[in-house]
Amino acid sequence: MNVAVSLMIYGSMVATFGPTVLRRLTRRGVAPRLGVLAWLVAIAGALGAWAIAAGILIVEFATYWHPADTLHDCYTALATPVHLHGGLLVQLGTLTCAALVAAGLLGISAHAARAMLFMRRKTIAHGRAVRMVGRHVPGVGAVVLDSPERQAYCVAGRPDTIVVTSAAVDALTEQQLAAVLAHEHAHLDERHAGLLRFLRGIAITLPGMRLATDGVHEIGRLLEMCADDTAARTHGREPLLGGLLAIVGATEPLPAGALSAAATAVLVRAERLVAPVGAVRRATNRTALLAVMAATVVGLLEIAVGVLFCSTVLG
């Protein structure tokens, strides 16, 4: 039992203190890809700890343990069984607890899966509608949608679709348009939409978990920076910056699941493009992020290794 309690406390601490620490380390986007990984490790660490704790409780409540004397000390030190002896009433009570924990875990997982599936269906439907009403313009590697709003965004689906409005095409130079479209291609090539859909499903299912709700916003911002870096390597920083500033400020809301070049943290991203940080600060930030990830992983591994050790001995 104390292993499960330790895991729940560990997961709660990561979920509580993780957002503050990670936001401070990733707000400038010094190392955006490593920042995304750090947020994902923290989210996986918290959820993994809670899931393992739930699994231990299910086994603990659903079974009776009768280890040999040499194994009793190991199991007791790790888990402190809630019942080594008991009658039928105790067994029925613990079986009921196991069923409730299992039902709760399955319900949360099913709710998250339904939310992700719903978002994917809406995204695919929007992409299909845009391809029907949009048009193809020679020299523009995207579906052009007639609109007075300056927008460029991508929609992952079957097939993936990049959309640019006629107003954006008119406002951008050839180099700027190429850079903005490269930004959208980077989102699709690196599967950013699928990752955000997965995280949004978790955030919808667990709205009280700040690590997930804040993480969706922060990871989305960092993924925009990742796409900026990919586009800038090919087309240069100035065309991308000019393209972002030319299409920023659209008032028309984006469809659910779309990733837009100029809809998220444009000022911070523009600052990154104008004044990239030096090598020393980049190395310092990377070291701090790696340390946070190591602390998150090591804490969970220490508990998991203890459980696996006893499981191996018991086997």
Residue 174: HSE in the Cβ half-sphere, 13 Å Cα cutoff: 2
Cα 262 to the chain's mean position, in Å?
A: 21
At 160 the three-state DSSP class reads coil
According to the model, what pLDDT value does residue 83 have?
Answer: 47
Report yes or no: 49 and 307 within 8 Å, Cβ to Cβ. no
Report yes or no: 259 and 160 within 8 Å, Cβ to Cβ. no
At 100 the three-state DSSP class reads helix
Residue 254: HSE in the Cβ half-sphere, 13 Å Cα cutoff: 22
According to the model, what pLDDT value does residue 292 have?
Answer: 93
- In this model, does residue 68 exceed pLDDT 50? no
Mean pLDDT score, 22-48: 94
At 144 the three-state DSSP class reads strand
- In this model, does residue 159 exceed pLDDT 70? yes
φ and ψ at 230, to 5 degrees?
-65, -45
φ and ψ at 259, to 5 degrees?
-120, 120
Q: Which of 37, 33, 70, 75 is nearest to 56 (CA)?
A: 75
- In this model, does residue 73 exceed pLDDT 70? no
Q: Which of 163, 118, 122 is nearest to 140 (CA)?
A: 163
Span 169-184, pLDDT tens digits = 999 999 999 999 999 9
According to the model, what pLDDT value does residue 250 have?
Answer: 67
Report yes or no: 160 and 220 within 8 Å, Cβ to Cβ. no
Residue 76's pLDDT band, with cuts at 50, 70 and 90, is: low
Q: Higher confidence at residue 121 or residue 310?
A: 121
Residue with the two structure tokens 């406390």: 9
According to the model, what pLDDT value does residue 71 have?
Answer: 43
**What kind and span of H or E run contains 161?**
strand 161-165
Between strands 143-145 and 161-165, the pairing is: parallel
According to the model, what pLDDT value does residue 70 have?
Answer: 42
Structure tokens at 198: 């997965």
Span 206-262, pLDDT tens digits = 999 999 999 999 999 999 999 999 999 999 999 999 999 988 876 677 777 788 887
Report yes or no: 146 and 168 within 8 Å, Cβ to Cβ. no
Span 88-127, pLDDT tens digits = 666 666 677 777 778 888 888 898 899 999 988 888 888 8
- In this model, does residue 312 exceed pLDDT 70? no
Q: Which residues contact 185 (CB under 8 A, 6 or more apart)?
A: 154, 162
Proportion of the chain above pLDDT 70, given as a percent: 83
- In this model, does residue 155 exceed pLDDT 80? yes
Q: What is the pTM of this model?
A: 0.85
Residue with the two structure tokens 């936001």: 23
Angle between helices 2-26 and 32-62 (to 10 degrees): 170
Report yes or no: 42 and 211 within 8 Å, Cβ to Cβ. yes
- Quote the DSSP letter at residue 254: P
According to the model, what pLDDT value does residue 69 have?
Answer: 46
Structure tokens at 229: 């870096």
Residue with the two structure tokens 């984006």: 254
**How far is the CA of 164 from the CAs of 114, 132, 135, 137, in angstroms?**
30, 14, 10, 11
According to the model, what pLDDT value does residue 101 have?
Answer: 76
Structure tokens at 47: 């959820």
Report yes or no: 264 and 217 within 8 Å, Cβ to Cβ. no
**What kind and span of H or E run contains 267?**
helix 266-274
According to the model, what pLDDT value does residue 251 have?
Answer: 65
Q: Which residues contact 54 (CB under 8 A, 6 or more apart)?
A: 4, 101, 102, 104, 105
pLDDT averaged over the chain? 84
Residue 55's pLDDT band, with cuts at 50, 70 and 90, is: confident
Q: How far apart are CA 101 and CA 103, in angstroms?
A: 5
Span 257-306, pLDDT tens digits = 788 887 788 889 999 999 888 889 999 999 999 999 998 888 777 666 66
